[in-house]
Amino acid sequence: MKLSSRVQAFLKTLSLSVLLFSFFRIIFYLTFMNTSQNFTFLDALRAFFIGLRFDIRLSLLLSLPILLFSLFKRIHWARSDFSRKFWASAYALIFLSLLFTYAGDLGYYAYLRSRINARIFEFFNNFLISAEMVYESYNVWAWSIGLVILTFVIYKILYFFVFTHKEDVFNKKKVRVFQSLALTFAIIIGLHGSS
């Protein structure tokens, strides 16, 4: 069965999201695996599975706009190179913000031995002191450069392999709309059922 370009872009973005989030979870495990002697490999697998379910749900929510907004031809990425760059840039920035959160989670756990939570806002009460502490405790420049490079790589992947100039295999608008809305509805039902 042939899939429309928007469904292909949705599936590719979904896969990329899950891979990135899983990559950071593996980094988290490898970084702190020796800090708890009571944490077995079986516990790690169970925790990774729970995290994977969360990552899939988050990735589905992130990818949904592709199915919905790409129904409008004026902003479809195949319409112009500007639209293609816009979609790639928008999702690259979304990924950057999420990767920054994951990186912050690593630093937060290293400092307080707790996953990132609402308490992080307490650091903003003395922002300058907190910023100085972070700068002195962690290699901020290396992490920043790494995130920028990773974001650039993600942008290139999105531009060349996800949001391509490939025209839709379906010419009939009704078929395109039905396929996108049916998949969107199925995803929403799935997300609701898994909550």
Helix (H, G, I), strand (E, B) or coil at 106: helix
Q: How confident is the model at residue 47 (pLDDT cuts 50, 70, 90)?
A: confident
Write down the pLDDT at residue 84: 92
In whole angstroms, what is the distance from residue 151 CA to residue 122 CA?
29
Q: How confident is the model at residue 168 (pLDDT cuts 50, 70, 90)?
A: low
In whole angstroms, what is the distance from residue 159 CA to residue 140 CA?
28
**Which H or E element spans position 156?**
helix 140-157
The answer to whether the beta carbons of residues 91 and 179 sit under 8 Å apart is no
Domain ranges of the chain: 5-193
Angle at 51 between CA 117 and CA 109, to 5 degrees: 40
Q: Which one has a higher pLDDT value, 143 or 112?
A: 143
Write down the pLDDT at residue 109: 81
pTM above 0.95, yes or no: no
To the nearest whole percent, how much of the chain has pLDDT over 70?
Answer: 84
* CA dihedral angle for residue 134, residue 140, residue 143, residue 144, rounded to 10 degrees: 120
Of the ranges 35-49, 74-88, 175-189, which one carries the lowest mean pLDDT score?
A: 175-189
Sign of CA dihedral 119, 122, 127, 132: negative
Write down the pLDDT at residue 19: 94
Write down the pLDDT at residue 128: 80
pLDDT per residue as tens digits for the range 75-134: 888 888 899 999 999 999 999 999 888 888 887 787 777 777 767 767 677 778 777 777
27 contact partners, CB below 8 Å, separation of at least 6? 106
